[in-house]
Structure 1
Amino acid sequence: MTQHLTILHRDEHLVAVHKPAGLLVHRSKLAGGASEFLLQRLRDQLGQRVYPAHRLDRPTSGVMVFALEPSTATRLGDAFAERRVAKRYLAVVRGIGPERERLDYALREEDGSRPKAEMPAQEAITEIRRLDSVELPIQVDRYPTSRYSLMEVLPMTGRRHQIRRHLSRRGYPIIGDAKHGKGNHNRFFAEHLGCPRLLLAAVGMDFEHPVSGHRLALSCALDTPMTALFQHLGWAGHLPVDSARYLDAPRPVAT
């Protein structure tokens, strides 16, 4: 039986949900043999059509917003395109990341339609901050111990795989990233720490409601494997919770 999606916020114009890791948002050429998609699951759960306002990579979990009518979808899409949406992610990376840094490496598009060398480099900006770190007395690579960090990630632009590519280029690949990470660390987390997935989660978002105009702030809890990992590594104090609130109005959020 298909498990119901967690609804973070719902009103007559939009709905925000927790997208599970590994679930594609909708059918695409990247779908392969996938038979289940977030858009269809949400449509069936709500009993009405929904319109995605942005994208979230298949292996990434966390908050995602859908409009409930085309006009709202257009307004939300414009807000994302014009960088009027603040997004917050948590990532578990290899190594002791910097306390705070702004990454501004330009990125070429990765859409598979043309060789990357033919794609123009586009501005890409990501702000990162180390929230915590741990050193495990286990040899995973060539060193006798293994160090990992919990990073807060704030993407200022929305290039494809931007967070994964920026952190890898800076030298702190996300655990579970098969393309940009390192296999032995990915296997260690999968086999010994119960996390066989990309450890990147979209945990927060705030934006101007496209109809009311009030600033809506959303927070999304981590899934079970990431929550257990944070508790095991001593990072429980950084666990987000599900919530929705208006930042500029005292009224309660409709659910």
Structure 2
Amino acid sequence: MTDISILFEDGEALVIYKPGGLPIERPRKGGRSLEDHFAQLRLGFQRDPVPVHRIDTDTSGCLLLARNPKALKRFAKAFEDRLVGKRYLGILAGVPSDAEGTIELSLSKISSAEKGWRMIAAKKGKPSVTHWKLLGEKDGRALVEFRPETGRTHQIRIHCQAGLGLPLLGDPVYGDGKGAPRTMLHAAGLVVPRDKKDPIEATAPLPRDFAALGFSDG
């Protein structure tokens, strides 16, 4: 079993480095998941830590876990109230024409027998906002920083495809799934404010598969 790296730890919170490809919840068809590691992540506490938010199976990086029910409720409200600072890095299957910008699209979920479910840009959908900035280019691909204001399902992935016109490299739903073994998205940083304590702050190092494509963070 792969050990999970801990990026932040105190009495009410853990931020872990979730590997790309590891689902948070056990898949219906079975197989490994983050749940296999919860006992290990108790770290002396009596109860398992609980994920406060979700990141896609393919996405690597920062995931916040609450160590007690009261903390879970407070942290969940911070996400709901858009108080959490989130920084993502992604590799696009192309290079955008601008150096930075903001994508504002309303998103809806659709489903079909052939393609399963996915998100689309739709006027009657839920508003979503992502700020982005080009960090580097190599071999016709781009490393981009994303700072989402909202937290819609697949938000950054659909914003790349529908907003920038360039899907994330390796994305099988909003792109062609080629060029990388997974959707190249990484939750690089997380800041969660707290009323009476210092904020929770964590940074997840750039994964090896990003570095293998010639990119570095910074």
Give 2:50's aligned amino acid. Y
Distance in 1 (alpha carbons) for counterparts of 2:29 and 2:168: 26
Q: Following TM superposition, by how much is the alpha carbon of 1:85 offset from its aligned partner in structure 2, in angstroms? A: 0.2
- Matching residue of 1:123: 127
User: Which residue is 1:81 aligned to?
Assistant: 80
Contact (CA 8 Å) 2:99, 2:134: kept in 1 or not? yes
8 Å CA contact 1:12–1:68 kept in 2: the answer is yes
Q: 1:202 aligns with which of 163, 177, 187?
A: 187
1:37 is aligned to 33
Counterpart residue type for residue 190 of structure 2: M
The runs of 5 or more residues in structure 2 that have no matched partner are none
Unaligned runs of 5+ in 1: 137-146, 190-194, 240-255
User: How many correspondences in the alignment?
Assistant: 209
Moved more, 107-116 or 93-102: 107-116
Aligned partners of 1:110 and 1:160 also within 8 Å: no
**How much has 1:116 moved relative to structure 2?**
7.8
Q: Where in structure 2 are the equivalents of 1:85-164 lying within 5 Å?
A: 85-97=84-96, 98-109=98-109, 120-134=124-138, 136=139, 147-164=140-157
Give me the identity figure in percent. Answer: 27
> What amino acid sits opposite 1:69 in the alignment?
N
Matched with 2:4 is 5
In the TM superposition, residue 12 of structure 1 has moved relative to its aligned partner by 1.0
Instruction: Indicate whether 1:56 and 2:55 are aligned.
Output: yes
Give me the whole-angstrom Cα distance separating, in 2, the residues matched to 1:119 and 1:104. 11
Q: Is the 8 A contact 1:109 1:159 kept in 2?
A: no
Shift of 1:208: 1.1
**Greater share of residues in strand:** 2
- Which range moved further: 2-11 or 42-51? 42-51
CA contact (8 A) 1:25 1:38 kept: yes
Bigger helix fraction: 1
- Distance in 1 (CA, whole Å) between partners of 2:159 and 2:19 is 23
CA contact under 8 A between 1:109 and 1:120: conserved in structure 2? no
Q: CA deviation at 1:227?
A: 2.6
TM-score of the two chains, using structure 1 as the length reference: 0.75
Which amino acid in structure 1 is aligned with residue 42 of structure 2? L
2:5 maps to a residue whose letter is T
- Measured in 1, the distance between the counterparts of 2:37 and 2:110 equals 27
Instruction: Check conservation: 1:177, 1:198, Cα contact below 8 A.
Output: yes
In structure 2, the CA distance between the partners of 1:216 and 1:45, relative to structure 1 (3 Å rule), is closer
- In 1, are the aligned partners of 2:130 and 2:148 still within 8 Å (CA)? yes
Per the TM alignment, residue 32 of structure 1 is displaced from its structure 2 partner at its CA by 3.4
Q: Give how far 1:40 is off.
A: 3.4
Aligned pairs (5 A) from 1:200-239: 200-209=185-194, 212-229=196-213, 233=214, 235-236=215-216, 238=217
Give the Å deviation of 1:22. Answer: 1.2
Residues 39, 82 of structure 1: alpha-carbon distance in 2 compared, 3 angstrom cutoff: farther
Alpha-carbon distance between aligned partners in 2 of 1:74 and 1:45, rounded to the nearest angstrom: 19
Shift of 1:55: 0.6
